[in-house]
């Protein structure tokens, strides 16, 4: 069945360093790849997304890259700040022409001051 693998499960960086989280997906028909940030006690919130007709997208300190051939996509956070500490989820969707998303297992990012 459809599957999204996310690595690493935990990531600790010093403030100001970069953080990279990687995901692979199994369904080659997927065409929508969002990233969500979940803070403690809250629901996930979209931080950036990319569609399959684009290879890279950037929004200030956050960027996402997509390699459709290899079926993987990555989240890059530069100049990390303590408030970036949270759980990050990748997801893949669009293959069944429905709104269904398959989520990765999540990455707990800790940014040390």
E-state strands within the chain: 4-7, 10-14, 19-25, 32-38, 45-51, 56-59, 62-67, 72-77, 86-93, 101-103, 107-112
**C-alpha distances in Å from residue 69, one per residue of 25, 30, 95:** 11, 12, 16
Site for another protein in 31-50 (CB under 8 A): 31-32, 34, 36, 41-46, 49
Q: With CB under 8 A as the contact rule, which of the stretches 20-28, 65-73, 78-86, 90-98 interacts with another protein? A: 90-98
**C-alpha distances in Å from residue 63, one per residue of 38, 49, 51, 60:** 17, 9, 13, 8
The position carrying tokens 């990050």 is: 88
Site for another protein in 47-86 (CB under 8 A): 49
CA distance 78 to 56: 15
Binding status of residue 103 toward another protein by CB under 8 A: yes
Q: With CB under 8 A as the contact rule, which of the stretches 26-34, 54-62, 63-71, 75-83 interacts with another protein? A: 26-34
Q: Shortest approach of another protein to residue 34 CB, angstroms?
A: 7
Q: Shortest approach of another protein to residue 94 CB, angstroms?
A: 4
Binding status of residue 11 toward another protein by CB under 8 A: no
Residues of this chain that bind another protein (CB under 8 A): 31-32, 34, 36, 41-46, 49, 89, 93-94, 97-106
């Amino acid at each position: 069945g459809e599957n999204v693998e996310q690595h690493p499960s935990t990531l600790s960086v010093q403030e100001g360093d970069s953080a990279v989280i990687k995901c692979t997906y199994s369904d080659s028909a997927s065409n929508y790849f969002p990233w969500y940030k979940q803070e403690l006690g809250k629901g996930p919130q979209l931080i950036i997304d990319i569609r399959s007709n684009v290879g890279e997208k950037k929004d200030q300190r956050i960027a996402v890259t997509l390699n459709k051939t290899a079926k993987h996509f990555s989240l890059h956070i530069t100049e990390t700040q303590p408030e970036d500490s949270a759980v990050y989820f990748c997801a893949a969707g669009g293959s069944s022409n429905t709104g269904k998303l398959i989520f990765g297992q999540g990455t707990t990012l800790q940014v040390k001051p």
